[in-house]
Structure 1
Amino acid sequence: MPHNDPADGPGKRLLRRDLLAARNRMTPDDVRESADALARRTLGLPEVAGAHAVAAYVSVGAEPGTLALVDALRARGVRVLLPALLPDNDLDWGEYTGAGSLARVRHGGRMELFEPAGERLGPEAVTRADVVLLPGVAVDGRGLRLGRGGGSYDRVLARLEAAGARPALLVLLYDGEVVEHVPAEPHDRPVDAVVTPSGVRRFR
């Protein structure tokens, strides 16, 4: 996601830079093995096992892999919603119905994203999810998440709160990305749990 959230201070930018550099040193095999472990652990969570609808995303590059998880959810009959980035960095949503329902989209000079190719359901569609998977770069012991810096998921979290929606909020990370402290802003909201290849840690 883009890096232009005005609340994205220098402490966050420095931590993000270091962690993303570590990701970029990972091999494709490392990424694939981690993705399989993340899928197994996430699918075993009670809130995921009981979900009818999950708002997810398709990982890109060395991000913790989500495609195996998304496919497994769909195979279970779960409705999977995927985000589409809007010009103002907000997110619209569409339904994932298999690999053929994805489009590779480049937003300006930024990274290419995989977005739903079909009908757009509107930004409010996320409020009907039982579980929301949040992309991130780190999480700390309070459950505060460091995102990519665009503010898109801060809007999602604010929208959930305004609607009175209480989905389980999960972030998928590598083991070394659970850190002691993430610089926080007043608008930052904690996640419920972090899933890493080696385990699950809950925060509330």
Structure 2
Amino acid sequence: MSGSLSEKARLRAEALARRDAMDGAARIEAGFAVAETVAADLAFEPGTVVSGFLPIRSEIDLRPLMAILADRGARLCVPAIVGEDLEFRELRRGAALEPQGFGTYAPGADAPVLDPAIMLVPFAAFDRRGHRIGYGRGYYDRAIARLASAGRPPRTLGLGFAVQEVPRVPDEPHDAALDLIATECGIHRGS
């Protein structure tokens, strides 16, 4: 296991370096391309709870996609860090946001907590099988597992840039693939 952890750390660092090296304008254009592609592909009923994320560092900016989904009737939420876990707080236009650490923001503790039916998930690296490497803290893995164990497994969509692709993410039997990965180059369905 320690070998796969060091391999994940290496792949994470290399993928993040490629992402960081992207030109800012290319990052913005890629975000719009992903928004158009996912919006055209993603079907849901109005009122469906969709969790997005607000970008940190050089992450893809999902705000254009989240605006499209809200206009189509999605009820949006974003993760807030509570201890070692994520809770998904409703995101409303004009609502105040509070720092969460790691350079991200979320609505305050008074915002409604929602269980997403669809999760837009960030990643440091991904492979075409739908496996991802996160940032190493396991927040999303625990949140997905918690929802699944409560009988509400979410649809999971990993979103990022094509430069974050790696040939193969080291995975273990308990690792679940994402349902799909979307980059500016298109959509990859998980296995």
Query: Counterparts of 2:59 and 2:171 in 1: how far apart (Å)?
Result: 22
Query: Counterparts of 1:180 and 1:83 in 2: how far apart (Å)?
Result: 29
Are 1:141 and 2:128 matched, yes or no?
A: yes
Are 1:95 and 2:90 matched, yes or no?
A: yes
- The alpha-carbon deviation at position 130 of structure 1 amounts to 2.7
- The alpha-carbon deviation at position 167 of structure 1 amounts to 2.5
Are 1:160 and 2:147 matched, yes or no?
A: yes
Query: Counterparts of 2:86 and 2:70 in 1: how far apart (Å)?
Result: 21
Give unmatched runs, 5+ long, in structure 1: 1-5
The answer for the alignment partner of 2:35 in structure 1 is 39
- Cα distance change on mapping 1:8 and 1:101 into 2, 3 Å: farther
Contact 1:7 1:185 in 2 (8 A): no
- The alpha-carbon deviation at position 134 of structure 1 amounts to 1.0
- The alpha-carbon deviation at position 162 of structure 1 amounts to 0.2
- The alpha-carbon deviation at position 48 of structure 1 amounts to 4.8
Query: What amino acid is the match of 1:116?
Result: P
The answer for the alignment partner of 1:66 in structure 2 is 62
Per-residue CA deviations over 1:52-111 (Å, capped at 9, x if unaligned) read: 2211111122111211111222222210011101122x011211112x32525153xxx3
What TM-score does the superposition give when structure 2 sets the normalisation length? 0.89
Contact 2:15 2:166 in 1 (8 A): no
* More displaced stretch, 194-203 vs 135-144: 135-144
Query: Counterparts of 2:83 and 2:150 in 1: how far apart (Å)?
Result: 23
Query: Counterparts of 1:104 and 1:28 in 2: how far apart (Å)?
Result: 25
Query: Counterparts of 1:118 and 1:7 in 2: how far apart (Å)?
Result: 39
Query: Counterparts of 2:56 and 2:134 in 1: how far apart (Å)?
Result: 14
Query: What amino acid is the match of 2:97?
Result: A
The answer for the alignment partner of 2:5 in structure 1 is 9
Query: Counterparts of 1:120 and 1:7 in 2: how far apart (Å)?
Result: 41
- Cα distance change on mapping 1:31 and 1:51 into 2, 3 Å: farther
Per-residue CA deviations over 1:8-37 (Å, capped at 9, x if unaligned) read: 811111110111111111222111111111
What TM-score does the superposition give when structure 1 sets the normalisation length? 0.83
Identity %, equivalent residues: 29
Are 1:119 and 2:110 matched, yes or no?
A: yes
Contact 1:133 1:170 in 2 (8 A): yes
Query: What amino acid is the match of 1:174?
Result: F
**Aligned counterpart for 1:24 among listed residues 20, 25, 44:** 20
Give unmatched runs, 5+ long, in structure 2: none
RMSD after superposition: 2.3
- The alpha-carbon deviation at position 131 of structure 1 amounts to 1.1
